[in-house]
Structure 1
Amino acid sequence: MSEKTDKSRDADRKKTGISKTTLIVIGIVIVIAIAAVAGFVFLKNGAAPAGASDSFTKAGALYSQSVDLANAGKYQEALDKADAALVYNVSSLNPLIQSNRAGILVMLGRNNEAVAAADVAINAPGNLTTLRSIAYYNKGNALTALNRTAEANAAYANATALDPALKHP
């Protein structure tokens, strides 16, 4: 193949590829929407024990602040807010928060912790397809940084299987 053809293909890939940051932001927005709907249904059905709605509201607010800080590139502050949200131990939000934490921890270079956070989200009970896809993708990023290529490829494959928009970088 000619060098010109290779350069042309590389340029085409760059034009059609979605950046890792864009995927993370899209994933975070999707997960926030899922959490909001789940929270609304949870509270509307009156399934919350006394004090649970207050905990849900506080944890949700901290989680939202965490997302905003992460989007602003303030990863340590974002992690602090996510950790504060986890203190409320709201079972319906914890997988969402952990999935987000995994992405933040990758950005901080704390990849072993990112893998652990992603695993919490991946193994959470329930129909959490979008959340799991993002957690697998974040896990793939962490494993790539740890040079665990085969495991990273498997995590990316799981992410793509759950959400075809999440392609292996």
Structure 2
Amino acid sequence: MSFGTLPNALVVIAIVIAVIARRLSWSELENSDADVWRGPLILCGVGIYQLYGKHLQLGPADLVLLVAGVGVALAAGYASGRVAQVQRRAGKVFFRLGIPGLGIMVAYLVIRLGLAGAGHLLGTAATAGGGALMLSLGANLLTQSLVIQGKAHHEAEEYSHS
């Protein structure tokens, strides 16, 4: 790892730790769509910017690993969103991932880091760097947030009909 990639790695690690810590504790789900989309879209944007900023020519191995990384991210985001706990308290909606969601997130991160390692071994600069990881994490969190928001809306409808 070069000195230039160390800050990227530290930023990604800090983001992952902050996101997992926040999602394991009960958090109020804001009603605003912007709150659901903002953070994950920023992560995706930073990831794309980092990938684009390197002016890389993407080869077949780059594309396969990028698509695999995003595919795993979307599947894990959907699965962790489905197992997330959603509760209504005093008219507000709260959520957390819980232990099953943590297990899915850890499995996703292990697979994603394995893809980054494979990219490094194959010499694919695009997938071995922080940009691909940030894009993947953003896609994961966006999917997870949308599924949780859908569950919250469904629970709100059931609550209003009872």
TM-score tier, shorter chain, comes to: 0.3 to 0.5
More strand by share: 2
Using the size of structure 1 for normalisation, the TM-score is 0.34
Higher relative contact order (CA 8 A, sep 6+): 2
